[in-house]
Amino acid sequence: MASMMFTDCSPSTTARLLPLGRSYGVLCLRRLVGPLHMGPLNPPSSFRILSVHSSSISSASPVVPTAAMATEASAKVIDGKSVAKQIRDEITAEVSRMKEAIGVTPGLAVILVGDRKDSATYVRNKKTACDSVGINSFEAHLPEDSSEGEVLKFISGFNDDPAVHGILVQLPLPSHMNEQKILNAVRIEKDVDGFHPLNIGRLAMRGREPLFVPCTPKGCIELLHRYGISIKGKSAVVIGRSNIVGMPAALLLQREDATVTVVHSRTKNPEEITRQADIIISAVGQPNMVRGSWIKPGAVIIDVGINPVEDAKSPRGYRLVGDVCYEEACKIASAVTPVPGGVGPMTIAMLLSNTLSSAKRTQNFK
Amino acid sequence: MASMMFTDCSPSTTARLLPLGRSYGVLCLRRLVGPLHMGPLNPPSSFRILSVHSSSISSASPVVPTAAMATEASAKVIDGKSVAKQIRDEITAEVSRMKEAIGVTPGLAVILVGDRKDSATYVRNKKTACDSVGINSFEAHLPEDSSEGEVLKFISGFNDDPAVHGILVQLPLPSHMNEQKILNAVRIEKDVDGFHPLNIGRLAMRGREPLFVPCTPKGCIELLHRYGISIKGKSAVVIGRSNIVGMPAALLLQREDATVTVVHSRTKNPEEITRQADIIISAVGQPNMVRGSWIKPGAVIIDVGINPVEDAKSPRGYRLVGDVCYEEACKIASAVTPVPGGVGPMTIAMLLSNTLSSAKRTQNFK
C-alpha cells in the first residue's frame, strides 16, 4: 500500500496533492507493477505522452525519477479528452462529406423542461458540441409547470421532423411527469441515447444489432479500442449495474467476448472479485472506492465516476474525483482514465456519433 | 477425484454405471463435502426423498453406506419432474378458477412448418400439456414449401384472435424463411416464449418488467425458489450465453441480486471461475463438461444440458446426460438437478404458466 504522503484517496478530506484536474495528461508512475497481461497500448495518432510533470510527483515519490525510469515503469493515462477531440474531428469530416454529397445535415433535438441550472448547462454544452462539428441543433425549452401532454406534443413534432435525426429528453424531468412514458414516446429510430428497452434487448442478444448504443458505455469501449486494448477473452469487472452505464457496459464487453462479472451493492466480496479483472469499468458514483488493493497488476481501468469532494485548496472548494483512487491505480494498473478528462468528454462525442449514424441510416448514406 | 470405477463422465464411452435415467430421484452421496454455503433446502411439499437405491451405488462406493450415512452426507436432488407437476397442478386450479369466474379459457397457438419428426413430437407434447391443465390449444401445420407470407398470415390471424393468449412458432423453420422476421411478427403481448428483444431489454433493465420471461431460464430460477435456495448476494456462474437460456438466465440471477459471471467459449479459465460460484447454471450442450474439480463444495447446480451419449447397455444405444458430470457433482454440490428429470420438465410448465399469465393480463383477472 502506498504511503499516506503519496496517497490521497479519502473522499472528504482536504487534498494533500495537486487537484486531479492539474495532473491530467501526466504520465503516472507504476512502481508496484507485475507482469502486463494486456496487449501493448497503441495510443491514437493524436495522443501525446507528456513528460513527467515534476511538481505533481516531487513531493510524493521518494526518488525523483529519471526520464528513463518514468518511461519503463508508468501506467498509461487514457486520454479521453484527446480521443474525444479526434472523434469530433472525424465526425466533422463526415458531416461535411454528407452535406456535400447529398445536401443533408444531421440534426439533434433536445427537450428541456424547467429551470435547473445543471440541466441548462448540459443542454448548452450539447448545443456547443453540435455547432463545433456542423450538426444542426434544435431545442424545445418548456416551463417547469408544463403538462406531460405538452412535452409529448414536442416529442411528436420532432419524431415527424425529417431534419431531426436524434431526440434527447434532458433528465431529470419535473416530478409530476412520468419519465418512462415520455422517454418511450421518442421514436426508436431517433433514440440517440440508446435507452429504449428494444435497443437494450438487441444489445443483449447475439445476432441482433441495436440501433444505438448508450453514449457513456459506448465511450468506454471506444477508449479501449482506440488504445488498442484487446477485450476478447479478457476477464472484465463492471462495478455498478445502472441502466445507463453499468448494465449496457457489461453487455458491450460480453459482445466483444470478455468474460464479464457485474459487481454491485449486494456483492459480498467486491474487492476480491475486482482484483481478478484484466479490465475494470467502474460506474458507481462512490469517490475513491476502488483502492490499489482492488486492482490486479497490469489491469486497465476505465473510471466513469465523476464525484465532487471537498478541497479547501481549490478555489471552488471542491474537486472532482472518480470511483477509483487514481494515485494508487496509477502505480498498479497498466492504463487508467483520469477524472476529469477520461470518460467524461467521450459521452458527448458518442452522442454526436449516434446522431451522425442516425442521419446516415435514414439517408442510407455510407 | 473419484475413482474410474465410480465415475463415468467420458462423453462417448460405454456406460459403466446405470443410465442416469434410472438414478433419477435417488439421493446422491456427497462425501467430499465442505461447509454448506447455501441456506437450508426446503423441498416443495410434494418432494419425496427416496431411500438410497443400493444397486446404483453398490458397485461404485468402497463402503456400502448405511441409511444414516446417506442422510448425513448427500447432495439433494432437485427434482424438476416433481416441481413441474406441482406447478401444473397450480395452473390447473387457476385455469379452472378463471373459467368459473369470467368464462375465459387461456389458449396457446403453435405454428409448425414442415415435417420434422422431432418438431412434431415437441408440438404434440405441448398440446398434451395444455390439455392436462385445461388450456385450449390451437395448431397451424403448414407444408415445408409454404411461403413466408403464408406463415405470417397465420401469425396475423392468431395475433387478432382473442381466444389465443400465446403464440409459439416451432423452430427450426425451413431454411428459405427469415426466422427473425417471422418471430418479430408475433405480437409482444402473445410472445409467451419471451424471446422478443423488447422483453429481453425489459429483463435487463432495472425498474422495468418483461411481459414474459423465457421458459427455460424461468424454470431454472423457479427451481431455486421452490427449493428455498437464496440467490441474493450469492456468487453465480452461468455457463453459456445463448439468447434462449444463458443470457436471460444471467439477467434473471442479476435481477435477484446475485453477482453473476457469464462463462463462454472464449473464457480462458472456465474451471477456475466456475469453482468460485455458489450457484452454477450450465447451458452449453457439452456432455459432462463440468467436472467435480469445477465445483465449490456446497454449490447448487442447475444443469440445463440434455446431451445424448453412446451407451451400448441402453436399449436405445444412447442415454441422456447433462453438461455436468452428475456423479462427481453429487459428491461435492449441496444440490443438483438430474438429467433427465431436472430442468427439462420445467420448460413446458413455464410455457403453460406464461400462457396463463397472458390470459390473466388480457382479462385483467387477478
**Contact between B201 and A196 using a beta-carbon 8 Å cutoff:** yes
A247 contact residues in B (CB cutoff 8 A): 204-206
Query: At residue B302, does pLDDT exceed 60?
Result: yes
Q: Which of residues A13 and A221 earns the better pLDDT score? A: A221
**Rounded distance between C-alpha atoms, residue B224 and residue B217, angstroms:** 11
Nearest residue in chain B measured CA to CA from A203: B201
Chain A positions touching B261 (Cβ under 8 A) are 259-261
Q: Are A259 and A240 in contact (CB under 8 A)?
A: no
Cα–Cα distance, B275 to B269 (Å, whole number): 10
Q: Taking 50 as the threshold, does the pLDDT of residue A229 lie above it?
A: yes
Residue B355 grid cell: 400462457
- Give mean pLDDT, residues B250-268: 98
The verdict on a CB contact (< 8 Å) between B261 and A264 is no
For residue B201, give the nearest of A180, A199, A260 by CB distance: A199
pLDDT at B74: 80
Q: Using alpha carbons only, how large is chain B's radius of gyration in Å? A: 21
Output the pLDDT for position B172. Answer: 93
Cα gap B35→B334, rounded to integer Å = 9
Looking at residue B8, its pLDDT comes to 66
Residues of A with CB under 8 A from a CB of B: 180, 196-208, 232-233, 235, 241-243, 247, 251, 254, 257, 259-264, 266-268, 273
Which of B200, B241, B254 has the CB atom closest to A262's CB atom?
B254
State residue B9's pLDDT score.
Answer: 78
**A301 DSSP 8-state letter:** E
Fold observed for domain B102-213: Rossmann fold (3.40.50)
Q: What's the rounded Cα separation, in Å, for the pair B25 and B54? A: 13
- What's the rounded Cα separation, in Å, for the pair B232 and B82? 25
Give me the numbers of helices (H) and strands (E) for chain B, helices first please: 13, 11
pLDDT at B165: 98
**Looking at per-residue confidence, does A24 or B245 come out higher?**
B245
For the residues A47-64, what does the mean pLDDT come to? 33
Taking a C-beta distance cutoff of 8 angstroms, is the pair A301, A336 a contact? yes
Please indicate whether residue B193 is annotated as part of the active site.
yes
Task: For chain A, give the mean pLDDT.
Answer: 85
Q: Best mutation site among A37, A38, A209, A261 for testing chain B: the one with the most B CBs within 10 Å?
A: A261
Please report, rounded to a whole number, the percentage of residues in chain B having pLDDT higher than 70: 80
Is A167 within 8 Å of A138 (Cβ atoms)? Answer: no
From the centroid of its chain, how far is CA B351? 11
Residue B10 is predicted with a pLDDT of: 63
Burial A233-268 (b: 16+ CB within 10 A, else e): bbbbbbbbbbbbbbbbbbbbbbbbbbbbbbbbebbe
Fold match between domain A20-63+72-83+216-346 and domain A103-213+348-359: yes
Q: What is the pLDDT of residues A232-264, one digit of tens each?
A: 999 999 999 999 999 999 999 999 999 999 999
A248 vs A18, which has greater pLDDT? A248
Which residues in chain B have their CB less than 8 angstroms from residue A264's CB?
257, 259
B276 tagged catalytic: no
A193 is catalytic: yes
Interface test with B, best of A171, A205, A267 (most B CBs within 10 A): A205
Residue A21 has pLDDT above 50, yes or no: no
What are the residue ranges spanned by the domains of chain B? 20-81+214-347, 102-213
Maximal C-alpha separation, chain B: 65
> How would residue B337 be classed by pLDDT, with cut points 50, 70 and 90?
very high
Cα B339-B341-B342 angle, rounded to 5 deg = 75
pLDDT band at B204 (very low <50, low <70, confident <90, very high): very high
Q: Using one digit for the tens of pLDDT, what is the confidence trace for B320-335?
A: 999 999 999 999 999 9
Q: What is the structure's pLDDT at B11?
A: 54
Q: What is the CATH number of domain B20-81+214-347?
A: 3.40.50.720
**Residue A154 burial (CB count, 10 A):** 20
pLDDT for A11 equals 54
Q: Which residues of A touch B201 (CB under 8 A)?
A: 196-204
Sheet with strand B166-169: strands edge to edge: B136-142, B107-113, B166-169
A103-213+348-359 maps to which CATH number?
3.40.50.10860
SS3 track for A60-108: CCCCCCCHHHHHHCCCEECCHHHHHHHHHHHHHHHHHHHHHHHCCCCEE
Nearest residue to B201 (alpha-carbon basis) of A73, A256, A329, A195: A195
Greatest Cα pair distance in chain A? 65
The pLDDT score that the predictor gives to residue A9 is 78
The beta-carbon neighbor of A243 closest among B205, B235, B264 is B205
Under the phi-then-psi rule, with left for phi > 0, alpha for psi from -120 to 50, and beta for the rest, what region is A19? beta
Tell me the C-alpha to C-alpha distance, in Å, between residue A349 and each of A126, A130, A250, B214. Answer: 10, 9, 20, 36
pLDDT of amino acid B59 = 34
Yes or no, beta carbons of B232 and A266 under 8 Å apart: yes
pLDDT on residue A73: 43
pLDDT at A12 over 70: no
The band of B48, judged by pLDDT with boundaries at 50, 70 and 90, is: very low
The confidence score (pLDDT) of residue A298 equals 98
DSSP for residue B171: S
The predicted model gives A324-342 an average pLDDT of: 97
Whether A15 has a pLDDT exceeding 50, the answer reads no
Q: B126, B190, B218, B331: which one is catalytic?
A: B126
User: What CATH code would you report for A20-63+72-83+216-346?
Assistant: 3.40.50.720
Q: Which of B178, B198, B296 to mutate to test the interface with A (most CBs of A within 10 A)?
A: B198
Residues of A in contact with B208 (CB under 8 A): 180, 197
Q: Is the dihedral of CA B292, A264, B267, B251 positive or negative?
A: positive
pLDDT exceeds cutoff 80 at A330: yes
Supply the DSSP symbol for A258. -
Render pLDDT for B212-246 as a digit per residue (tens, 0 to 9). Answer: 999 999 999 999 999 999 999 999 999 999 999 99
**CA proximity to B283, closest of B272, B296, B275, B274:** B274
CB contact under 8 A, B267 and A260: no
Is there a contact between A238 and A272 (Cβ–Cβ < 8 Å)?
no
Phi-psi region of A220 (alpha: psi -120 to 50; beta: other; left: phi over 0): alpha
Per mean pLDDT, which range of A25-34, A190-199, B3-12 is the poorest?
A25-34
Residue pair A17/A58 in contact (Cβ under 8 Å)? The answer is no
Q: Do B268 and A205 touch (CB under 8 A)?
A: no
- Nearest by CB to B197, from A208, A251, A267: name it: A208
Least confident of A96-110, A349-363, B67-81, B92-106: B67-81
Output the pLDDT for position A10: 64
Percentage, residues of chain A above pLDDT 70 = 80
Q: What is the DSSP string of A134-147?
A: T-EEEEEEE-TT--
